[in-house]
Amino acid sequence: MIRKIVLYVLGAVLILTSVVLARRIISSRKKPKAVVDKVIKTAFTQKVRNGLVPIVIPANGNLVAKRRLELYAEVQGIFLPRKKLYRTGEKYTKGEVLIRLDDREYYASVQSAKTNLYNLITSVMPDLRLDYPDAYNTWRKYLEGFDINKTTPTLPGFSSEQEKYFITAKDILSSYYNVKNMEEKLFKYTIAAPFSGVLSEAVVTEGTLVRTGQKLGEFIDPSVYELEVSISNRFADLLKEGKEVTLNNLDDTKKYKGTVVRINKIVDVETQTVTAFIQLSGKSLREGMFLEALLQAKEETEAFEMDRSLMVSENEIYVIKEGNLDLLKVNPVYFSDKKVVLKGIPEGTDVLLKPVPGAHPGLAVKIYEGE
């Protein structure tokens, strides 16, 4: 009996010892908590230097040749071939023939009408010699200078009302104006370049039957271009004609200089904008190019310009105060797509140059001291 009691006691002691040892082993495996050092974020800053800030209004548009001509046919005929092909991109000098239509049939009709006029005047010469001797020599000299292969000369003036009635009654005036009308139409079979330029569009080709009213192409002067831009009505009074404008291409790799040449006096009802036209020249310019214009409207004094993305709200920005971020109320006077012009920032204040991740008032930061 005693032996059993001793065994039970030894077993209980053994179990208790095992439990104690197991607990110690488990507790020894727990790692001590790491001490986390407080991280102070670095802030890239700039010191405020208030001064004169130009208000620059960005506007964009596509270039259009200032001098352009849409070519249309006013007569009908076959497009005659020439040494210089009528093709897009072809250059022409002022006065050079762009298009010549076959006018042989109509030319014969004009020559016939001119001959009839000459014969009609000749037929009244005997009557003029008898009834109007003072006018006879005038009309004789007119016939002597009449060349059927040249443009019909202007009829001589009348020395009296009787002479005028006589000439009119013989249908000389109506025949003369009919000939002049036909001559004007004959000129339309040939289209010459009104200025030196480039054919920007060619709709027809040589040998084509051209019909009256048909579009033939477009002709432009590539030396001078205009850019049409729309600006807010509130800046319309500040923009003046003759003002120089800086422009850049879509990739911002090239800069151009232009001049404001016209400003529309009408405000668009829907957008409340005013249209301005900028003139510029350059060998690298092409019609249809997209350009951005930077229009200087006015200048703000005692102002500071910074990145718009650094604004916390419409009138607050972060500043560095005693090593911490703090909010400062400011007075924005102009917003652009990327920049904002502010007033009311004390001179020498440290403001952010780049956003700080997780920024909030009171956040401890250190100012970056590098270059």
Which range is most confident: 82-86, 94-98, 312-316?
A: 94-98
Checking if the pLDDT of 275 tops 70, the result is: yes
Helix pair angle (104-131, 172-187), 10° resolution: 150
Q: How far apart are CA 303 and CA 48, in angstroms?
A: 9
Is residue 14 exposed (0-12), middle (13-18) or buried (19+ Cβ within 10 Å)? exposed
What SS3 state is found at 84? coil
How many Cα atoms within 13 Å fall on the side-chain side of residue 336?
Answer: 18
> What amino acid is encoded at 52 in this protein?
L
Q: How far apart are CA 30 and CA 13, in angstroms?
A: 27
Query: With contact defined as beta carbons under 8 Å apart, do 136 and 124 qualify?
Result: no
Residue partners of 36: CB distance under 8 A and separation at least 6:
none
What SS3 state is found at 103? coil
Q: What is the DSSP letter of 153?
A: P
Residue partners of 133: CB distance under 8 A and separation at least 6:
none
Is residue 170 exposed (0-12), middle (13-18) or buried (19+ Cβ within 10 Å)? middle
For all residues of the chain together, what is the average pLDDT? Answer: 87
Checking if the pLDDT of 81 tops 80, the result is: yes
Please list the residues that pair with 101 across neighbouring strands.
Answer: 79
Checking if the pLDDT of 43 tops 60, the result is: yes
| Residue 109's pLDDT band (cuts 50, 70, 90) | very high
pLDDT at 323: 85
Q: How far apart are CA 186 and CA 196, in angstroms?
A: 24
Digit-coded pLDDT (tens) for 133-142:
888 999 999 9
Checking if the pLDDT of 105 tops 90, the result is: yes
Radius of gyration of the chain from Cα atoms?
A: 45
List b or e across 57-77, with b for residues whose CB sees 16 or more CB atoms inside 10 angstroms. bebebebebbbebebebebeb
Q: How far apart are CA 79 and CA 208, in angstroms?
A: 5
Checking if the pLDDT of 196 tops 90, the result is: yes
Look up residue 296 and give its two tokens.
């200087």
pLDDT at 295: 79
| Residue 271's pLDDT band (cuts 50, 70, 90) | confident
Checking if the pLDDT of 370 tops 70, the result is: no
Summarize the confidence of residues 105-120 as an average pLDDT.
95
Residue partners of 92: CB distance under 8 A and separation at least 6:
84, 98, 193, 196, 197, 198, 199, 219
Summarize the confidence of residues 97-126 as an average pLDDT.
94
Checking if the pLDDT of 317 tops 80, the result is: yes
Beta strand 316-321 pairing with 77-78: unpaired
pLDDT at 6: 59
| Greater pLDDT, 2 or 361 | 361
Digit-coded pLDDT (tens) for 211-234:
999 999 999 999 999 999 988 887
Checking if the pLDDT of 35 tops 80, the result is: no
Checking if the pLDDT of 1 tops 80, the result is: no
List b or e across 258-292, with b for residues whose CB sees 16 or more CB atoms inside 10 angstroms. bebeebeeeeeeeeebbbbbbebebeebeeebebb
pLDDT at 79: 95
| Residue 117's pLDDT band (cuts 50, 70, 90) | very high
Look up residue 15 and give its two tokens.
């179990």
Residue partners of 185: CB distance under 8 A and separation at least 6:
74, 75, 106
| Residue 34's pLDDT band (cuts 50, 70, 90) | low
pLDDT at 282: 86
pTM score of the predicted model: 0.67
Query: With contact defined as beta carbons under 8 Å apart, do 341 and 317 qualify?
Result: no
Percent of the chain scoring above 90 in pLDDT: 47
Look up residue 356 and give its two tokens.
């700080």
Please list the residues that pair with 62 across neighbouring strands.
Answer: 290
Q: Which of 15, 41, 68, 63 is nearest to 368 (CA)?
A: 41
Look up residue 204 and give its two tokens.
């027809």
pLDDT at 107: 94
Chain centroid to Cα 57, Å, comes to 15
pLDDT at 123: 92
Digit-coded pLDDT (tens) for 135-165:
899 999 999 999 999 999 999 988 888 889 9
pLDDT at 243: 84
pLDDT at 21: 67
| Residue 371's pLDDT band (cuts 50, 70, 90) | low
Checking if the pLDDT of 239 tops 80, the result is: no
Chain centroid to Cα 324, Å, comes to 47
pLDDT at 114: 95
